[in-house]
Amino acid sequence: MLKKTVLNSAHRAQGARMVDFGGWDMPVNYGSQIEEHHAVRNDCGMFDVSHMCPVDLVGADCRPFLSRLVANDVAKLTVSGKALYAAMLNDAGGVIDDLIIYFLSDTRFRLVVNAGTAEKDLAWMQARATEWQMAVTITQRRDGENNLGIIAVQGPNARAKVWQVLPQAKAAIADLKPFFAAEIDQYFIASTGYTGEDGYEIMLPAGEAEALWNALHAAGVAPCGLGARDTLRLEAGMNLYGQDMDETVSPLDAGLSWTVALKDGRDFVGKAALTANGQMAQFLGLILLDKGVLRGHQQVITKQGNGEITSGSFSPTLQQSIALARLPLGVAIGDEVEVDIRGKRLKAKVTKPVFARNGQAVQ
């Protein structure tokens, strides 16, 4: 039995093609994934991401708990509402999950973790809190009572559309800098996203989500499925948990070094392993020069040895196939490499791991 978000019937009413997405019955598109992709790059689209799991932390030890729990340093969070992207590691330095941490006060933080990892994340967090004897209460907000829906509204016109539909929130959110959140009554509105475009992610009581979804739709916001969400995040060079990294992969080998605060004296789970192993591979982009489509798990042949594509697809913005890949140390941006696609070796160019943001190609 697939799990359903509170917007399931709204998706069906709008003609969504539904698929089993890690045990959730989710819209992959509402007709054309490519049109939905362009809507977000050029105008405004919305995604139901209520399968992701908000987790509220409350208690005196929130900050010391998070300081040990994740590889990024919550000491960077000094202004209420500020958000931080971080990886939660195991003792071997592998990534248990990537998450966003919102700082609300020293006794109250909100995290958002991935859908498919929520149960193991909650178990891990609870076990660490007990082991470290930290005064922190961990409450998931996805299922059951007091659950939240999440709607991501993304694109150059996303802010204006949200102000139009939620005029009571405009004053609090109009000037939010990127990666901040504001709380307006029961609404939690953050200037975060997974597309490389401006916009908001709106968490709200689940019972109110369908009314907001329909109001945004009436205001001209295009419903977009998880298919477009994947090509948008791929173009933006954002990692997908389970594809680009998992429990066997170090964040240093997944392009996440910028989220790992290794240099200060702070200890965190996985730090010893990261320090001992160092960086073992590079996380870079590929653009296919021949005709075809790059896909996850295809082998990349370079002068320095073989690497592997972790995520690949067709880029609607570049009109070429692009990929994120884990490649041997020594491979340089601009190098020409080969990719094995069904036994044929096709040429690809190594690039920075970002292809399009803010409506523009960046390659």
Residues that bind another protein (CB under 8 A): 17, 28-29, 32-34, 37, 227, 231, 291-293, 295, 313-314, 316, 321, 342
CB of 233 to another protein, least distance (A): 13
CB of 240 to another protein, least distance (A): 14
Contact 199, 159 (CB under 8 A): yes
- Distance (Å, rounded) from C-alpha 158 to C-alpha 12? 23
Residue 255: exposure state from Cβ atoms within 10 A (0-12, 13-18, ≥19)? buried
Quick one: which of 25, 46, 23 has its CA closest to 212?
A: 46
Between 302 and 310, name the residue whose CB sits nearer to another protein: 310
CB of 322 to another protein, least distance (A): 11
CB of 80 to another protein, least distance (A): 40
CB of 37 to another protein, least distance (A): 8
Between 225 and 255, name the residue whose CB sits nearer to another protein: 225
Own/partner contacts of 175-184, CB < 8 Å, gap of 24 or more, are: 176/81, 176/200, 179/82, 179/83, 179/84, 179/85, 180/79, 180/81, 180/82, 180/83, 181/81, 181/83, 181/102, 181/104, 181/110, 182/81, 183/104
Contact 306, 269 (CB under 8 A): no
Number of Cβ atoms within 10 Å of the Cβ of 193: 26
Between 34 and 122, name the residue whose CB sits nearer to another protein: 34
State both tokens at 54: 């908000």
State both tokens at 97: 């999950």
CB of 269 to another protein, least distance (A): 36
Amino acid identity for residue 157 in this structure: N
Between 2 and 332, name the residue whose CB sits nearer to another protein: 2
- Distance (Å, rounded) from C-alpha 88 to C-alpha 72? 9
**Residues across the chain:** 363
CB of 22 to another protein, least distance (A): 15
Contact 155, 42 (CB under 8 A): yes
Between 17 and 352, name the residue whose CB sits nearer to another protein: 17
CB of 201 to another protein, least distance (A): 23
Between 24 and 188, name the residue whose CB sits nearer to another protein: 24
Contact 262, 311 (CB under 8 A): no
Between 76 and 344, name the residue whose CB sits nearer to another protein: 344
CB of 231 to another protein, least distance (A): 6
Between 227 and 255, name the residue whose CB sits nearer to another protein: 227
Between 249 and 356, name the residue whose CB sits nearer to another protein: 356
Quick one: which of 252, 290, 286 has its CA closest to 355?
A: 286
Phi, psi of 5 (to 5 degrees): -85, 170
Torsion, CA 244, CA 248, CA 252, CA 257, rounded to 10: 60
